[in-house]
Structure 1
Amino acid sequence: MFELVTRAPASGLRPWVMSLYGYEERAAGPVVMEEGPAPYVPVIVDFGPGWLIDGERRGSFAAGLSEARAVVEHAGHGHCMQFNLTPLGAHGLFGLPMHELAGRCVPLDALLEGASELEERLYEAGSWSARLALLENELLNRLAQVEAPPVAHAWKKLVEEGGRTRIGELADDLGWSHRRLIAEFRDQVGLRPKQVANVLRFDRASRMLGEGGSPADVAFDCGYSDQAHLTREFTRYAGRTPGNFLQDAGAAAA
């Protein structure tokens, strides 16, 4: 059994929240998934027996931006809600320097006041539609006073251009030194601008390959110097070549 229910965030959440969904899966045995780096902060509200993240047991948690891939497992039953925050949304919601979360998976009750109560309220809401509406309202209330910091301009430009923007151009746009740009990114995004650009470029390449793009076309469109460059970077982040990625995607769809 596999169930995935999604909800587009309300307009008031869109600067901070990328997606919300409910998930439940029951399988005959353990399910293992390898997740590549992504340009968002996933927050898991767990209703089931928990997860193994790179071999460590987790219940509800949030994971900061990272250039590393992660192995995610459940023992045969996964049941949770997930909302994906922009790094600036996570900075506003959790109120901590994002470099403290970067590359880490942290229990949600260490980051979010009232996390255990929220988990209980969401579970008891019963239906996915009721849970998603409750979660959306909770996030609207918690993020209502968050204002976009100056670094939001640089983040938005990197996202819109799929990581292809020159870092010097971002600093010039804001009238900042490179050192200040790096410091602001570490504080409010979690990684350095160049690392963020690499993750965004990988994310775009993954989506284009998944939609049927050829490695040569993807390399060109995503700003890699050539197909060999794409293969090196993709293998670094995904643990497999673009060709292997396409084969695995085809096998999963069959």
Structure 2
Amino acid sequence: MDPILFDSGLGGGWDIARHASGRNGIDLAGYRDCGSAGLDMQVVPGRSCVMVVDVGDGLDIDTGSDRWAAGGVVTGLSPGAVRIRGSRVDCVEVRLSPVQVYELLGTAVSSATAPDELWGEPVRRLREQLATATWDQRFTLTDAFVMQRFSYRPAPEVVASWERILASHGRVHVGELAQMCGWSRKRLWSRFTAQIGVTPKRAAMLARFDRAVKALGAGMAAAEVAARRGYADQSHLHRETVQFAGRTPAELAGEGNIRSRREPLHYR
């Protein structure tokens, strides 16, 4: 596992832990605000889905079009920045691929929603168990909760298309994917959207954007990001950054409280 990275603006009072699931591709992280620092963070779309179960004072979730208070959040791949606020955060986060979300639910998660709406009483019992558990116990309980619910199988062609999109960093056309699957474009579009939550074209855009966000955060100039990450030009990067994150590339690079869904939540 990578080491825990404490952001320079984090300050004291945060207890952070990380854990690798027994299932490939799933990572867990734990965050506890021990100093009442509070949280106000924007999460932009990426290539991963995120499930957060909070046992603190609850989270305020703002998707721009909807806002609610909940004991956590589950995000899909659907574009649009999600703002998460909390006065005393104490949570476990699970990162999964959209394929794994389908394996859990038998459907895609196309937008942000509360875990209670997806699992009801079982996730409420999990929250009660997490409240008094150590980090090791929390990870064991959460991992078991997830593993016990893998009961659906996505179409192999959909899985292969998703993996091809990731491997190409979004530089693949829908026609190529359809030919690879032996499907018509219409059938690929329909099945992929139903099981991943976005169209193949939008998934490719998000895979490309995910890499662009990481490069901008690492200090790469917008013009260089556009040239190296598959954009037609800097204006193309600008349009998609505003569309997905509600920010310009410069704003996205400069705001430390924005994180891609590809990485565990890091608070400032």
Q: TM-score range by the shorter chain?
A: 0.7 to 0.9
Q: Does 1:5 align with 2:36?
A: no
Q: 1:36-91 deviations in whole A, cap 9, x for unaligned?
A: 112222111110111111131111332222111112111x2111111022111111
* Greater shift in the superposed pair: 240-249 or 197-206: 240-249
What are the ranges of 5 or more consecutive residues in structure 2 without an aligned counterpart?
Answer: 1-12, 258-265
CA distance in 2, matches of 1:27, 1:253: 13
**1:60 pairs with 2:72:** yes
Instruction: From 236, 241, 245, give the equivalent of 2:248.
Output: 241
Q: 1:21 aligns with which of 22, 25, 29?
A: 29
RMSD: 2.4
| Residue number among 173, 187, 206 corresponding to 1:199 in the alignment | 206
TM-score computed with the length of structure 1 as normaliser: 0.86
Equivalent residues of 1:20, 1:82 under 8 A apart:
yes
- Alpha carbons of 1:115 and 1:40: their partners in 2 closer, same or farther (altered >3 Å)? same
- Residues matched between the structures, number: 242
Structure 1 residues 190, 214: CA separation in 2 closer, same or farther (over 3 Å shift)?
Answer: same
Q: Contact conserved, 2:58 with 2:70, CA < 8 A, in 1? A: yes
2:102 and 2:152 in contact (8 A); partners too: no
Which runs of 5 or more structure 1 residues have no equivalent in the other structure? none
- Residue among 78, 89, 96 paired with 1:78: 89
Percent identity, aligned pairs only, is 31
Match of 1:118 in 2: 126
Task: Tell me the SS of whatever aligns to 2:84.
Answer: strand
| 2:49/2:74 contact within 8 Å kept | yes
- Structure 1 equivalent of residue 173 of structure 2: 166
- 8 Å Cα contact 2:105-2:152 kept in structure 1: no
Q: Distance in 1 between matches of 2:33 and 2:93?
A: 14
* Paired amino acid for 1:86: S
Shift of 1:135: 2.2
- Contact preservation (8 Å) 2:41, 2:267: no
Measure, in 1, the Cα distance between the counterparts of 2:95 and 2:159: 17
Match of 1:190 among 197, 201, 220: 197
Q: Secondary structure at the match of 1:32?
A: strand
Larger relative contact order (C-alpha < 8 A, sep ≥ 6)? 2
What letter is aligned with 1:119? R
| Letter paired with 1:171 | A
**Whole-Å separation in 2 of the counterparts to 1:46 and 1:4:** 14
